[in-house]
Amino acid sequence: MSIVLNAFPLKVPDLELEAYQIPYDKDTLDNLRARHRSTHAFRRQGGSILIFSGDGQFPISGTPQTVALKENFGIFCFLVKEGLIRHLASLGRRPAGFTPIELVSVKPEDNLLLSILGGSYPFQICAKYTVDTRFVQGQPCLVIDCTTRRVFTEKCLYFLHAGFDLIGRYVVTEQEDGYRKLLGSVSALKGETLHVTRSDGQTEQIEAKNAYLEASRTNFDDYILCTHGVQKDAIVERIRQCVSSFNGGENKKARIETLKKYIQSKTVTLIDGTRIEIEDAPDIQRQCEQMHKPVFVFSDNGEADWAEKGLTQYGPYTKRTFDRNDPSICVICAQHDKGRVEQFVRKLLKGISSSKYFRNGLEGKFTLGTSRVEVFATTKDSVEAYKSAIETAIRKKADDGGRWDLALVQVRQSFKKLNVTENPYFLGKSLFFLHQVPVQDFTIELLGQSDYSLGYSLNNMGLACYAKMGGVPWLLKSSPTLSHELVVGIGSANIGQERGADNQRIMGITTVFSGDGSYIVSNTSKAVVPEAYCEALTAVLGETIEKIQKRMNWQKGDTIRLIFHAQVKKFNKDEIEAVRAVIDKYREYQVEYAFLKISEDHGLHMFDSATAGVQKGRLAPLRGKTFKLSKHEMLVYLIGQRELRQDTDGHPRGVILDVHKDSTFKDIKYLSAQLYSFASHSWRSYFPNPMPVTISYSDLIARNLGWLNQIPGWNDSVMIGKIGQSQWFL
């Protein structure tokens, strides 16, 4: 048995290269690369540009430098990638990008749609290879990955003649280097001329023969509907299965191996003609570790390593303290769907007798007693009709001197295409939240599932409903440390109906803290634009420490540990200074902190021969498998072979945890185990999460509050009330 990465060690030659150094200037660098790319290599190095020559001549004078490659791995890796690009260009190929280098296959047999839609169809899904370098335990390696890329092979004129409606669709133009740049959306047509609205609101005209449709999933699916009508869904499902199978471990590893062998067999050289040599991937099985399953805590301190089993055996953690038993529930639904919705709600509350995990429903599984349900129907699918029904429901409960414990709101899939101010989904959330009522939406399309499938959907929905009403399904058991620990998750979301200038990036902050050996999700959560993020981070941290130091009775001299989880390219000095500003206020404690970057977009894969014979997830590692890449980096699989649903699912992706160099707490094994536990702690689903709740909850907060802030009359201060203490965003 063996475990390998798709990272192949590079042999670093004992070589010194001559280079010229000049001051950095972007225009100078761009011009030099454009004019001398075939004979020279140009690397930005801080405030300088290093120039390497292939012919001993230099296009510009500078300060001579001697670069020993064995002492400059970063420069060596740059020259390896630069050499690969030069080799591909000599073959007439047009690789794109540099970190990583991307190459889309032009072989007809590498078009996944060949057997489904034929070779003449105007778009393709092609094999795409990426090549990059990274250090693995101090060794420079070439990382090769293989996935797919959607490609439109015909220009807009083709689709215009085919009668395909281009209005509202995004179009791109092809640059000289083959990169397709987003132009804008088509707002009008005049003959064969497209009127395209750019992100800045300006309109420009472009000939249909000079533009391509954007290779988006929407454009693909809509064109298949145009050409194949009612067969569309079956074709889209065949394509999905084909792409998933292509991305499976066996195929991915085989294709990576093929490209690696090609590079080994050819004379691919550095700028001075020295051959690039790569070795086979070593077996890292002995260096990999398997994490233990997290243990959950339920009612009466019952413990289990499987949430489903623990809930059944002991009941939810707050079984004896939950204050919304016999809950009052209002249902908002369309008049013409009322009968089916009532059946659906009954299954949610009472359960499905044939279901494996949802036999007793929300009421039985979470010991809620008997719900009091009232239905309020909308006459239309409009915002006004939903508003009228919701206001009637709120008014009726207020007249009775009470408040709804939960609102179930039926929506439609088609609502997703509406502007936020015209969308009943967001209106329903905002109106109920203003009155401190948690909301659980469900689509009318969900009612079409068989009882078998519906049981799984309702099981997750019931879990979220209980958490939204303020219940705690379970907590995580952890080993108490000598430190008081706060774990702060930072997420984000892009908010905007149109892509481009009107888009707004929203940062979400949620706090997860430890106490009495258990991790609890705090009610301190905000969403802000990036410019205000550091200030909000400081405020959230200060409020949380203030709250918890009293609750946990911290004593002078105690050690306080702050751990930050974020999906950022890198932590910047402003974030670190914001944390230090808070720390300075608590000098009576010993404060240490860790900034942990969590990345899933890294192209690194683990292939485990122990699963080579299984039906689904061949070569996929088990969940909890780890490999230490360096002192500060760990590859961790939060989803593994057993979590894949079917044999066509692709190879699972691990995440890389990167501890920032300025952190004062750097125990990577401890931080990895903690993050792994958080990935099992979502109250949105019983399935393990591909991201820890510190990130996934923060993303949900950012997305929800970002959209709600666009609704007239909405104010985030609503979340200061009791609803803000529940998991309202699930």
Q: What is the pLDDT of residue 37?
A: 87
Angle CA 484–488–489, to nearest 5: 150
Q: What is the pLDDT of residue 404?
A: 94
- Spell out the domains of the chain, with CATH numbers in brackets: 318-468 (3.40.50.2300), 478-598+662-716 (3.30.420.10)
Integer distance in angstroms from the first to the last C-alpha of the chain? 41
Tokens representing 462 are 């019931």
Tokens representing 563 are 């751990």
DSSP output for 118-146: -TTSSEEEEEEEEEEEEEETTEEEEEEEE
Q: What is the pLDDT of residue 457?
A: 93
pLDDT in tens, 464-496: 999 999 999 998 887 777 788 888 888 888 776
Parallel, antiparallel, or unpaired: how do β-strands 328-334 and 406-411 relate? parallel
pLDDT in tens, 526-565: 778 878 878 888 888 888 788 778 777 888 888 888 898 9
Closest CA to 459 of 118, 155, 178, 687: 687
Q: What is the pLDDT of residue 500?
A: 52
Per the omega criterion (within 30 degrees of 0), is the bond before 100 cis?
Answer: yes
Parallel, antiparallel, or unpaired: how do β-strands 625-630 and 633-636 relate? antiparallel
Tokens representing 369 are 């007693």
Q: What is the pLDDT of residue 199?
A: 79
Q: What is the pLDDT of residue 520?
A: 67
Secondary structure (H, E, C), 288-351:
EEECCCCCEECHHHCEECCHHHHHHHHCCCCCCCCCCCCCEEEEEEEHHHHHHHHHHHHHHHHC
Tokens representing 144 are 């090769």
Q: What is the pLDDT of residue 451?
A: 92
Please say whether the beta carbons of 334 and 378 come within 8 A. yes
Please say whether the beta carbons of 487 and 711 come within 8 A. no
Q: What is the pLDDT of residue 501?
A: 46
**Among positive and negative, which fits the CA dihedral 514, 516, 517, 523?**
negative
Q: Residues of the chain whose pLDDT is less than 70?
A: 177-178, 496-504, 513-525
